[in-house]
Homo-oligomer: A and B are copies of this chain.
């Protein structure tokens, strides 16, 4: 009901998110090319095709645009799907948890294999501009807190159960290891495939086939 009123609203929100993400992507590319001090907000706006006033509707400052908006870290639809994906007959921690977290990462991290250099990641940006590290660390800690809450909710764990934090830290490790391989010069494997391969490696390391039966 009232679809004609809500639909343009949703379209507008989607367009806003696209603009916000594009500001971050271009701000990161400019940072990699010229350093944080090597470009102006005006130059960034010109690349994205928005006005200076529009920019300040999205971000307070140039380095906020480089860090990116908190809501752009996770894909909303994929997050909902993740929460609902717990098997209804699961008791304790569900066996699909780590696999579903990888699915959430695949949906949320828009790496494009044709042009990996078009998606500078935090590690690359911090190497170029060490002053960005404290902000990226703060955002990382915030994302971690948020995901711990989501996992406690999905798995019915008591707040503070160390297994929720462990799951978040392990998936972070898998994501970072996969990103490092993704950005290795000469890589032609897409990010999703590397994530799934890393997940398999981790599984094998923690529960390999019994000796001698492989």
Contacts and interface: CB of A to CB of B under 8 A. Distances in A.
Interface of A: 87, 89-95, 97-98, 130, 133-134, 162-163, 165-167, 169-170, 172-173, 176-177, 180-181, 197-198, 201-212, 214
Contacts of A89: 211-212
Given A97-B205, A206-B207, 17 more contacts: A92-B208, A94-B211, A95-B210, A95-B211, A97-B208, A98-B205, A162-B181, A162-B197, A162-B198, A165-B180, A166-B205, A167-B205, A169-B177, A170-B202, A170-B206, A203-B206, A206-B206
Q: Quick one: copies of this chain in the complex?
A: 2
A207 B210 CA distance: 14
A208 B95 contact: yes
24 contacts: A90-B212, A91-B212, A92-B208, A94-B208, A95-B207, A95-B209, A95-B210, A95-B211, A98-B206, A162-B181, A162-B201, A165-B177, A166-B177, A166-B202, A166-B205, A167-B205, A169-B173, A169-B177, A170-B173, A170-B202, A202-B206, A203-B207, A206-B207, A207-B207
B162 A208 contact: no
A186 B194 CA distance: 40
Closest 5 CB pairs of A and B: A207-B207, A206-B206, A166-B201, A95-B208, A173-B173
A93 B206 contact: no
Contacts of A203: 206-207
A75 to B, nearest CB: 22
A205 B157 CA distance: 13
A197 B166 CA distance: 11
